[in-house]
Amino acid sequence: MNADLTEKQGVILHPCHFARLGMRHLLPSNYQVFETADLNACQERRLVQGAPDLMIIALRGERYSMLSALELIEMLCHNNTHCQILVMLNISRLPGVRDYLMRYGERVRVIDPSSTLPRLTWQLERVIDRPVNPLQSVRTPLLPILSKRERQVLDALLLGNSVQRISRRFSLNIKTVSHYKRSALGKLGMKTMQPLLVWSTALPAYHFRHRDDILPEG
């Protein structure tokens, strides 16, 4: 890696404590690293200290959904031109999500968590040694970006809410809810929710109770 001793800020968002420690030790000594399994903690830190120079984020989390992670990536890319993002993503299971992230150009790089240590180290070196050119940081989207309503509907479905419950909560008819679901899945390159449901089964019950998107009965 280049011998740049300028102090920089790094954030690692990953559900596994040992994975976070391993990635932390791969970063150069000039990085001040904040690591957490909680996406809300990343958001709070960003509001107080600003965006980091480097964000390593796993799209699979126990305390956050993939839709929330994608929203954070979108926010960082559009509001913070200096922040580089390395996304941990099972590419073989979710190739459409990788294609969706290509809209951000060189700002976002994707690596499979099953990659070897040399591969992961090489990816980190590419990110760290090649600063982003703000003028080339965001590509013209190949597909429309997820809308707020699409994220809300898909996230609510992943949290176990029924179509009927979502319909009542957002004052939408059932056909419209189904339309938002199909539209969101299409943008992520999926035909069904099955790949996302596999990721969601490990979410603990308290996660549902404390999310803003929990839909009340009635």
- CA 125/CA 46 separation, integer angstroms: 24
| Pairwise CA distance, residues 74 & 56, whole Å | 14
Give Cα separations from 179 to 143, 146, 167, 200 (angstroms): 17, 13, 12, 22
Where do we find the tokens 């040992």?
Answer: 18
Backbone angles phi, psi at 11, to 5 degrees: -130, 135
Residue 57 in 3-state DSSP? strand
Asked if residues 86 and 112 have their Cβ atoms less than 8 Å apart, the reply is no
DSSP code of residue 159: T
Which CATH number fits the domain 148-210, given the four candidates 1.10.10, 1.10.101, 1.20.120, 1.20.1260? Answer: 1.10.10
Domain ranges in the chain with CATH number 3.40.50.2300:
8-136
Pick the closest to residue 46 from 20, 14, 83, 17 (CA basis).
Answer: 83
d(CA 106, CA 73): 13
Give CATH 1.10.10 domain extents, the chain: 148-210
Predicted confidence at residue 160, as pLDDT, reads 87
Q: Mean pLDDT over all residues of the chain?
A: 82
Which residue reads 């976070």 in tokens? 20
User: Is 205's pLDDT higher than 80?
Assistant: no
Structure tokens at 200: 């969601």
pLDDT tens digits along 83-111: 899 999 888 888 889 889 988 888 898 98
Task: At 63, give phi and psi (nearest 5°).
Answer: -115, 10
* Residue 152 binned pLDDT confidence (cut-offs 50, 70, 90): very high
* Lookup: tokens for 194: 């099955």
140: CB partners within 8 A, 6+ apart? 103
**Scanning the structure block, which residue is given the tokens 């003028």?**
135
Question: Which position has the higher pLDDT, 69 or 199?
Answer: 69
pLDDT grade for 57, boundaries at 50, 70 and 90: very high
> Side-chain half-sphere of 46: how many Cα atoms within 13 Å?
21
- Predicted model pTM: 0.78
Classified by CATH at the fold level, domain 8-136 comes out as Rossmann fold (3.40.50)
Q: What is the pLDDT of residues 107-124, one digit of tens each?
A: 898 988 888 888 888 878
The amino acid sitting at 114 is S
The confidence score (pLDDT) of residue 87 equals 94
**Which of 18-22, 150-154, 195-199, 209-213 has the lowest average pLDDT?**
209-213
